[in-house]
Structure 1
Amino acid sequence: MHVIPVSHLDYSEFPDLIASMHRLRYRVFRGRLNWDVSVSGDMEIDPYDALKPTYIIAADDRGTVVGCARLLPTMGPTMLANTFSVLLGSNPAPRSDSIFESSRFCVDTDAAEGVAATGLRNATFTLLAGILEWGLSNGQAAVVTVTDVRFERILRRAGWPLERFAPPMQIGNTKALAGHLAISQAALMKVREIGQLEGPVLAGRFVQPEAA
């Protein structure tokens, strides 16, 4: 499995990979989870994709995209601050050069081979490790995310528990919540240990995303 950080400077080098990522997001968020997301044909694309995010993309040896995540700096617009601020409770939206937002994390459970002892896909651990490695390489202290209680349980089983901003809320058909996770070497080692990952997973060059 290859895990590639694709910054906006790299978009022109990976058009097929990015298109496959958007198709995976459509299959997961619209097809499997039935979330109310923006779509274009067979792709899930929303306004935050226009803000020059960095994508963390996992592909198998055949080049098939099996997982992805989208990373944005919190100094610019984010899903948490601008769309789902209600999930912050009484907390202010994080705004820091050392905090980024992760969104649209998903794994193709049909294509991703290998299941760890925890019952989670190996691709899930690989993507989580990739986000941690990217954060450490870019001097980040924490990551915030908007997710659901299902993924909160996945993070706990993976050894990287989420700290909630506020209790979950029902949004559409989703029990949604927001929280933050520390970016640390200890967290990376824990994910690697539970997922039985050997060494770094992230390939390519590391580029800090820019705020729009």
Structure 2
Amino acid sequence: MQTTTLSFENLHNHGELFANMLRARRELFIVHNKWDLPEALGMEYDQYDTPASRWVVVHDELGRVLAGNRLTPTTTRCGIYTYMIRDAQRGLLETIPADLLYEEAPVCETIWESSRLFVSHSVPAPLRRRVHAKLVSELGSAARKLGATHCLTLLNANWPRWAGRVGVSMTAMGPVMNIDNIDNQVVSMDFTATLH
């Protein structure tokens, strides 16, 4: 099991890995979850897949994607869009409620957004926990290299059950909301304890 953090600067060094990650996202989010998201050439994408973002990918030696995640700076801006959580709060996204945060969404160089976090359904059950832990560990490492101390993420509200297992301190930043029949919540992941 390998991890790679992709950027527009290094995509050319990793063959089909970026495309494979977008294909895996499509398989999970569009095919399995039945979310209405943009797709092209068998890949899922959205307005936040820009040169400002990074993508953390867990994969095998053949480039098969096991898990992935996107990191976007909270300071980014592309047309009317900034980052997903903030844009939802600003009422720009129909699928995510605007009252997802207790306070105004941060815009700060040391806070990044973690989005599109997934573990592929093709990962066997006995390996899922290990793959998820590897993804979160690499996410933290990539975030720190980018100068981030915290990441905001919208995830399943069951996060208190597994947060300790992946070794990251997490704090609720908004209420539990039902989105597509799944309880979700915005959480801040604190990477300051692991800074060296």
Q: Which protein is richer in helix relative to its size? A: 1
Q: What is the CA-CA distance between 1:125 and the residue it aligns to? A: 0.7
Q: What is the CA-CA distance between 1:187 and the residue it aligns to? A: 8.9
Contact in 2 for aligned 1:87/1:178 (Cα 8 Å): no
Number of residue pairs the alignment of both structures matches: 184
TM-score relative to the length of structure 1: 0.75
Given the alignment of the two structures, is residue 137 of structure 1 paired with residue 116 of structure 2, yes or no?
no
Partner of 1:160: 168
Higher relative contact order (CA 8 A, sep 6+): 1
Q: Residues 52 and 111 of structure 1: is their aligned pair in 2 closer, same or farther, counting only changes over 3 Å?
A: same
Give the Cα–Cα distance (whole angstroms) in 2 for the partners of residues 175 and 111 of structure 1.
23
Q: What is the CA-CA distance between 1:112 and the residue it aligns to? A: 5.6
Partner of 2:191: 183
Q: Secondary structure at the match of 1:49?
A: coil
Query: Which letter maps to 1:102?
Result: S
Q: What is the CA-CA distance between 1:154 and the residue it aligns to? A: 3.8
- Deviation per CA, 1:155-208: give whole Å up to 9, x if none: 3543435311221122333323212110134499xxxxxxxxxxxxxxxxxxxx
Contact in 1 for aligned 2:68/2:117 (Cα 8 Å): yes
What is the aligned-residue identity percentage?
Answer: 23
Partner of 1:75: 75
Alignment of 1:115-126 (within 5 A): 115=127, 120-126=128-134
Q: Superposition RMSD on alpha carbons, in Å? A: 2.5
Contact in 2 for aligned 1:87/1:169 (Cα 8 Å): no
Mark the runs of 5 or more structure 1 residues left unpaired by the alignment: 189-212
Partner of 1:106: 118
Given the alignment of the two structures, is residue 9 of structure 1 paired with residue 9 of structure 2, yes or no?
yes
Give the Cα–Cα distance (whole angstroms) in 1 for the partners of residues 195 and 126 of structure 2.
22
Q: Secondary structure at the match of 1:47?
A: coil
Q: Secondary structure at the match of 1:8?
A: coil
- Deviation per CA, 1:8-39: give whole Å up to 9, x if none: 21123335111100110011112222333222
TM-score relative to the length of structure 2: 0.81
Give the Cα–Cα distance (whole angstroms) in 2 for the partners of residues 8 and 87 of structure 1.
33
Q: Residues 15 and 63 of structure 1: is their aligned pair in 2 closer, same or farther, counting only changes over 3 Å?
A: closer
Give the Cα–Cα distance (whole angstroms) in 1 for the partners of residues 154 and 3 of structure 2.
22
Mark the runs of 5 or more structure 2 residues left unpaired by the alignment: 77-81, 91-97
